């Protein structure tokens, strides 16, 4: 299989995963569509895509899906248990070869607020729990500063296994693992997702925009608000950036308060 065929196979799998998950809309830039069309023209089998004009704008440049709730999966813990069972002792990509534990996710199965990171680090791999190392301890402090407890939110990652040497997950690894994250989102149904760092933000929002341009405002994943912000590990190396994250979290807190119904 040559490079073009390998790329097309990856795209076809990505689109198939979205269709099976009930995702009804995928946004691609005009340049991305043209690249796909030029590749598919070399094969007898083509991918059906609606070509968007240069002047046409989608409702949101970061909208990748409409109404992606999954009717066949129950909400909350029961749904998460089914997803975990489906994931099993996953060997779907190369990351499984070096892991100690698969890191599924942790927290309130019906949380209004969800945090999504890039992938497990060393401590997470050893314990099988997301965000328990130094970056995780900082994340816990951020959550508490928002007036919440760690147990009030749900925490997960784009990939469930630690990349070797803590490198960034590769595109095919993300494409293989993200359907399980989408399913988690669908059964938890949070009102707001905080995307921690570039990898999480770009994977959820299907964009290549840098985190510096994405953070500070809400984007849409279906009808869920997504707030990209800097990863806690980045803050450990750059403490001066904490104030930007706090500005982002104040917007998140304000949105959560807005949607809560007084008891």
Query: pLDDT tens-digit profile of 29-76?
Result: 444 444 444 544 444 333 333 333 333 333 322 223 333 334 567 899
Classify domain 77-259 at the CATH topology level: Uracil-DNA Glycosylase, subunit E (3.40.470)
- CA–CA distance from 3 to each of 137, 160, 172 (Å)? 42, 27, 13
Please give the residue that has the higher pLDDT: either 66 or 250.
250
Using DSSP bridges, classify how beta strands 219-221 and 192-196 pair: parallel, antiparallel or unpaired: unpaired
pLDDT beyond 80 at 13: no
Q: How many whole angstroms separate alpha carbon 190 and alpha carbon 155?
A: 11
The gap from C-alpha 41 to its chain's centroid, in whole angstroms, comes to 31
182 close to 131: Cβ distance less than 8 angstroms:
no
Q: What is the largest CA-CA distance in the chain?
A: 60
Query: Residue 222 in contact with residue 191, Cβ under 8 Å?
Result: no
Residue ranges in the chain assigned as alpha helix (H): 3-20, 30-40, 77-87, 122-127, 134-145, 171-188, 198-205, 211-214, 232-237, 242-259
Whole-angstrom distance, CA of residue 204 vs CA of residue 202: 6
> Token digits for 72?
């066949």
- Interatomic CA distance for residues 122 and 128, integer angstroms: 10
d(Cα 257, Cα 53) in Å, to the nearest integer? Answer: 39
> What is the residue extent of each domain of the chain?
1-68, 77-259
Q: What is the average per-residue pLDDT within 171-175?
A: 94
Contact in structure between 129 and 170 (CB atoms under 8 Å): no
- Is the model's pLDDT at 189 over the cut of 50? yes
User: Which of 203, 114, 116, 185 lies closest to 152, judged by CA?
Assistant: 114
DSSP string, 118-156: S---HHHHHHT-SS-SHHHHHHHHHHHHTT--GGGSEEE
Q: What is the CA radius of gyration of the chain?
A: 18
Chain segment 66-116, per-residue pLDDT in tens: 333 345 678 999 999 999 999 999 999 999 999 999 999 999 999 999 999
Model confidence, pTM: 0.75
């Amino acid at each position: 299989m040559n490079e073009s065929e390998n790329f097309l196979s990856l795209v076809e799998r990505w689109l198939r995963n979205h269709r099976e998950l009930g995702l009804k809309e995928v946004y691609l830039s005009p340049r991305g569509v043209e690249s796909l069309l030029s590749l598919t023209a070399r094969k007898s089998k083509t991918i059906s895509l609606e070509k968007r004009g240069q002047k046409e704008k989608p409702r949101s440049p970061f909208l990748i899906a409409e109404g992606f709730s999954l009717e066949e999966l129950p909400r909350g813990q029961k749904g998460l248990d089914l997803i975990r069972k489906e994931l099993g002792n996953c060997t779907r990509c190369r990351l499984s070869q070096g892991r100690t534990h698969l890191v599924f996710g942790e927290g309130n199965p019906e949380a209004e607020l969800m945090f999504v990171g890039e992938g497990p680090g060393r401590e997470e791999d050893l314990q099988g729990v997301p965000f328990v190392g130094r970056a995780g301890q900082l994340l816990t402090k951020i959550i508490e500063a928002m007036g919440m407890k760690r147990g009030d939110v749900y925490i997960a990652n784009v990939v469930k296994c630690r990349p070797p040497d803590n490198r960034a997950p590769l595109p095919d690894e993300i494409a293989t693992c993200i359907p399980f994250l989408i399913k988690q989102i669908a059964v938890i149904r949070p009102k707001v997702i905080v995307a921690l760092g570039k990898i999480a933000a770009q994977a959820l929002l299907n964009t290549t925009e840098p985190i510096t341009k994405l953070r500070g405002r809400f984007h849409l994943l279906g009808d869920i608000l997504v707030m990209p912000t800097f990863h806690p590990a980045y803050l450990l190396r750059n403490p001066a950036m904490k104030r930007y994250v706090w500005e982002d979290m104040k917007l998140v807190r304000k949105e959560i308060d807005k949607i809560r119904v007084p008891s």
